[in-house]
Chain A
């Protein structure tokens, strides 16, 4: 390790070691030019905002900056816990994200199972190509598509329901508070089901085909093979992904609530993300909004830790 070329003794004086480092730097100046500026970039854009979390314990004042603003301890956290909206916020956030996780996982696994049973390569590829198209479309466009389809005036869904005689009057879907969660979850799943299924399809393609052959010999049909071979084989994948998504339970996403929510469904659409935005940037309550963000980060880390422990106890491989 410490062999220094040129016959120098291993215990070279510090001066010489420093000049050796200097020589390396000089030799690698182009490589370092490719690297150091971006390290500075990362320090500013990735690490500096971390420092900003301490704003949560201050009364941030734009004039004084993070270093000069007065410390207020847990004032903003206390204010958040006494907030009237708190229960509504947490309820909406958790309801939407839990439904997203459950329905999303169920949908993706089902789609993967169905695709896995398709024998025609062309049909399989077509279904896949189509199913992950919405993943690449912006949520703004997606929101627009669904607002159009579900519009009370001439939306396709209302038209079909009216024609079938299921309803007498068009439903204004996005004005029904109780429907909001289900609509959001449906749209989220519609958008990401194809993409989410990919990882399960990959896991399924790794299942040993001998297992299926053996099951066929024993007279098992398609259903039993799916239930007793495919599903158990991809169970670790499902568990790992569930664990990873569980830590995002307080992260219901900004897009759906902001784009699809409106004053009529406010009680069911407002989530932590939109609240942080409205308080922080809308009302310029910087410290308060930062405190909420920090609260969410800490809760997410705790959940990740707990779920990981539970998974370990259940004998699944842990992810961290």
Chain B
């Protein structure tokens, strides 16, 4: 069938609109990246676009020489790694036990965990609880409250159930117990879903900053996102930069501006996400295809 001119026009306009949307999404990142890689003094002239005029890594160098920021980066990495491993392992263990209907008290346990998706205690009761059980203002406040996710448990369980029974039966025959079956058979056969859930949990951990604000007071527990949040507040940024300058002056390097350092921190807080994004994307597209096939 010959294409009508309206349809051709529609295609052109559509492509243009979607291209503009892509530019609007990407541009802010590119601008901040260029800013972070540009000489700080030169940036003050203004008019920077998406390409650095005077390329330098000095802004990043400053961050790695400033102890508070190094500590915050380490804290971010720690909570992401430990939090993700702990959460995925615990959720998978729970999913394994709850994929067996013959489990003692199955109905109770099942609804007990499913219910947690629909109830929530609110900020203040949670705060009081954390104080009562003494995880307030400790590293564990980043790890333990997020240990289990009922939603991820269901995803994992659905996946575990698709593992052929015969495999597990024969392992039992050979005298294997549930620990062996779980670690040696079920987990290795579920790598894709484990990776997907792990990535999502990791992104959540890396991006989290509210728990630092609500449930900690100790400066040692500050994460990169939290530090960046504090820099948003200009007066605090000024104080921090002065502190930073004092610490840097002792080492003979002062050519930084609050703006440029802020951009560099913003990029450091973003880059890990950009690194794992292609992987999330891959699994995610798979999930979407599955979703659309059923229709």
Contact = CB atoms under 8 A, between A and B. Distances in A.
Interface of A: 21, 24-25, 28, 30-32, 34-35, 38-39, 41-42, 44-53, 55, 60, 62, 65-66, 111, 114-115, 117-119, 123, 125-127, 129-131, 133-134, 136-141, 143-149, 153-154, 156, 159, 190, 194, 198, 201-203, 205-206, 216, 221-223, 254-255, 259, 276-277, 280-281, 286, 289-290, 293-294, 297
Nearest to B100: A31
Interface of B: 1, 4, 6-7, 10-11, 14-15, 17-18, 21-22, 24-29, 31-32, 35, 46-48, 90, 93-94, 96-98, 100, 102-104, 109, 112-113, 115-116, 119-129, 131-133, 144-145, 147-148, 177-179, 182, 203, 206-210, 214, 225, 228-229, 231-232, 262-263, 266, 269-270, 273, 277, 280-281, 285, 288, 291-292, 295
Contact of A31 (B21, B103, B126, B208): B103
20 contacts: A28-B102, A32-B97, A35-B109, A38-B93, A39-B109, A41-B148, A44-B129, A44-B133, A50-B125, A55-B124, A60-B128, A130-B26, A141-B269, A145-B29, A202-B292, A221-B6, A223-B10, A280-B127, A294-B122, A297-B122
Contacts of A55: 124-125, 128
Contacts of A294: 122
A119 B104 CA distance: 53
B195 to A, nearest CB: 16
A138 B269 contact: yes
Given A49-B122, A133-B25, A206-B295, A117 B148 contact: no
A138 B126 contact: no
Contacts of B209: 138, 140
Most chain A beta carbons < 10 A, residue from B47, B116, B123, B179: B123
Given A114-B17, A115-B18, A145 B124 contact: no
B122 A136 contact: no
Most chain A beta carbons < 10 A, residue from B1, B121, B148: B121
Contact of B147 (A38, A127, A149, A289): A38
Contacts of A50: 119, 121, 125
B28 A145 contact: yes
Given A31-B100, A50-B119, A146-B28, 4 more contacts: A42-B113, A50-B125, A52-B125, A138-B207
A52 B179 contact: no
A131 B273 contact: no
A125 B97 CA distance: 38
